[in-house]
């Protein structure tokens, strides 16, 4: 599955494809912060979705210290993921969503594995995620990627911590005799 799933940094073309997936295959509250107004994918909500992703294009070094990615399966965008710098400079927070028709097929697990690789390249010591106890798909993906899970005593929330794999140092240049 991993070779069929990719996480690609968001750009303008991918953003429009991602929005189309969201409108067709997800509810706004599943994929973006709340926007006032009537329910559904209104013009205002679609523009807010675009603005949210555009604001993160400069990545972890940018002012929001956050980067978004398109998740693809077999070359087709099926959802989105993000990494955001949190405590200090070595902890990243992640989150993701998949269109409803792409859930339960191992895509989230594979995408999380790829995000951990991205985090390792960024120098992260840890990646954290928060979810709810009823989100069994997210919990499964987190467990399959080695997360330590802690249940909140006050809420139904679950906090996860993952360790990115250490990236091997670059190979020294070779010389030809």
CATH number at residue 158: 3.40.630.30
For residue 176, being part of any structural domain is answered with no
For residue 122, being part of any structural domain is answered with yes
Q: SS3 helix, strand, coil % of the chain, rounded to 5?
A: 35, 25, 35
For residue 156, being part of any structural domain is answered with yes
Question: For the chain, how many structural domains are there in total?
Answer: 1
- Could you tell me which residues are beta bridge partners of residue 84? 66, 93
For residue 52, being part of any structural domain is answered with yes
- Give the pLDDT of residue 157: 92
pTM: 0.89
Question: Residue range 135-142: average pLDDT?
Answer: 93
Among 51-55, 69-73, 105-109, 161-165, the minimum mean pLDDT is found in: 161-165
Question: Residue range 150-177: average pLDDT?
Answer: 75
Question: Residue range 16-39: average pLDDT?
Answer: 96
- Over its C-alpha atoms, the chain yields an Rg (Å, rounded) of 17
Judged against a pLDDT cut of 60, whether residue 131 lies above it is answered with yes
Select from 92, 85, 113 the least CA-distant residue to 4. Answer: 113
Domain membership of residue 86 as a residue range = 2-162
């Amino acid at each position: 599955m991993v070779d069929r799933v990719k996480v690609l940094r968001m750009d303008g073309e991918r953003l429009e494809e991602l929005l189309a997936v969201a409108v067709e295959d997800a509810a706004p509250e599943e994929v973006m912060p709340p926007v006032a107004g009537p329910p559904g994918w209104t013009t205002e909500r679609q523009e807010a979705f675009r603005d949210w992703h555009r604001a993160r294009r400069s990545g972890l070094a940018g002012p929001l210290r956050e980067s978004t990615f398109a998740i693809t399966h077999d070359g087709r965008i099926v959802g989105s993921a993000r990494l955001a710098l949190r405590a200090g400079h070595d902890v990243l927070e992640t989150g993701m969503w998949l269109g409803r028709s792409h859930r339960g097929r191992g895509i989230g697990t594979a995408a999380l594995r790829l995000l951990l690789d991205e985090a390792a390249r960024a120098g992260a010591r840890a990646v954290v995620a928060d979810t709810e106890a009823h989100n069994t798909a997210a919990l499964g993906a987190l467990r399959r990627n080695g997360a330590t899970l802690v249940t909140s005593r006050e809420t139904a929330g679950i906090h996860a911590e993952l360790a990115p794999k250490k990236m091997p140092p670059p190979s020294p240049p070779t010389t030809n005799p």
